Every structure is written in C-alpha cells, then in structure tokens.
Amino acid sequence: DGGITQSPKYLFRKEGQNVTLSCEQNLNHDAMYWYRQDPGQGLRLIYYSQIVNDFQKGDIAEGYSVSREKKESFPLTVTSAQKNPTAFYLCASRLLSGGTEAFFGQGTRLTVV
Amino acid sequence: AQSVTQLDSHVSVSEGTPVLLRCNYSSSYSPSLFWYVQHPNKGLQLLLKYTSAATLVKGINGFEAEFKKSETSFHLTKPSAHMSDAAEYFCVVSALNTGKLIFGQGTTLQVKP
C-alpha cells in the first residue's frame, strides 16, 4: 500500500536530549513537510523540502533540524534548543505540480519530561 | 504572501441541521484551497480541494465548498450534520508559485444529538 508513515506513534524523552522523528513516504512525492500541532493553534510549519538535498525553514524552525538525503525520507530532529518540544508532530508529502493535495502521516506525539 | 483565517474556532450544531464552517484567504497568486478533517489524535484527511476549475467543489461525506474570489472566501458546508462529523476542520491555502501550505487555526465542530 502506498502512503506516508511516521514512527513512533508515541515518544518520551528527557529534557535536554535530542530526538529524531521518522517520516517515510512511498508515493514518489516531490515535497515533504513537518508541522507542529498544539491545542488551539492549528498546524504550524517547521520545515519543508521540495527536492532532495534542499529544504527551507518554515515559521517555527528554531530548535529543529531536518535532512533530505533521499526522496522517500524526511526525518526531523528536535534538539535541546527547542524550548517547548512537547507537541503532536505531523509529516506530509505532496506532488508539486497541479496544486495537488498533501497526504499526512498519523503523527507522533512527543512528550518531554 | 499567503494566509488563511478560519472565522470560528468552535461551531456547535444539532444532528440533522446544516453545517457552515467559514474560511477567508489571502494570496498574491491564484491559490489552491483545501479543507481537511482531523479526528482526535489522528492525521489529516482531505475533504475537498479547489484548483481553479469549478468554483463549487464537492467532497467526501456530503461536504462541499464554494470558491468566491470577490469575497476571498472558501466556506465549507454540509446540508445535514451527522454525529460522526464531530472533529477539527482545517482550511489550507497553497500558492502555485511556492511549495508552502498554510493552515488556518482550525474549527472544532461539535454535533449534538
């Protein structure tokens, strides 16, 4: 089945530790996105990538890092510099031509204690 | 620059009555517009999309939306609400010249029996 997979579904980390969230897609999509979701704030864009080996900062990139070494994969690292990392993280992908919609993973809920 | 405003953070309707979720957008270019639905702790599912074809767009589960350029609006409607429609709804804009997807703050739809 084609789709976009995020893992793990739940993640717990101690404060001060870096943590990497996985996002893989087998839809042959060009673009991939990371969003953070907090109650009452909608989805805020962290990073996005339109092509392999290139990515752009979104609205809240501070304290996060990404890589796009393969078309299928777009991992997100939440670093210790992120002041409030506890949130629900969503990954998405889409084709860039024709105004196509994005497909979303099921999300990773990160809790930092 | 693109932006999107969902005019109601919370909408409550009775089962069997019409649903109206309001969305206004701002875009320097001809936009693509989407409505997504999110059930608790889940990813996002596409309801419908507008990509410069017909201005009245029909989606899944009986939802539809009308693109009104003069009013810069893309309101979501459904003639008769069902209990299963209770969820968070997001209006999303994408400009054709960039890969960015911009989300509204979301509208929580409550359906009362």
Reported confidence tier of residue B96, pLDDT bands at 50, 70, 90: low
pLDDT at A71: 97
What's the average model confidence in pLDDT over B43-56? Answer: 88
Q: Is A109 on the interface with B (CB under 8 A)?
A: yes
Reported confidence tier of residue B98, pLDDT bands at 50, 70, 90: low
A107–B103 C-beta distance less than 8 A: no
Q: Which of A35, A96, A101 sits opposite B99 (nearest CB)?
A: A96
Q: Is B100 on the interface with A (CB under 8 A)?
A: yes
Structure tokens at A15: 């404060």
Residues of chain A numbered 57-96 and touching chain B (CB < 8 Å): 58, 88, 90, 92, 94, 96
Are A49 and A31 in contact by the 8 Å Cβ rule? The answer is: yes
The candidate with the shortest Cα–Cα distance to B86, out of B113, B108, B60, is B108
Q: Which of A48, A100, A105 sits opposite B100 (nearest CB)?
A: A48
In the predicted model, is pLDDT for residue B76 greater than 80?
Answer: yes
Over the stretch A63-85, which tens digit does the pLDDT of each residue have? 999 999 999 999 999 998 888 99
B51–A90 C-beta distance less than 8 A: no
Mean of the per-residue pLDDT values of chain A:
92
Are A32 and A47 in contact by the 8 Å Cβ rule? The answer is: no
The torsion of the CA quartet B8, A40, B5, A21, rounded to 10 degrees, works out to -140
pLDDT at A22: 97
CA separation for the pair A113, A21 (Å, rounded) = 17
- Contacts of B54 by beta carbon, 8 Å cutoff, 6+ apart: none
In the predicted model, is pLDDT for residue B57 greater than 70?
Answer: yes
What's the average model confidence in pLDDT over B19-40? Answer: 90
Mean of the per-residue pLDDT values of chain B:
91
In the predicted model, is pLDDT for residue B62 greater than 80?
Answer: yes
Residue appearing with tokens 């404060």? A15
Amino acid at B88: E
A58–B99 C-beta distance less than 8 A: no
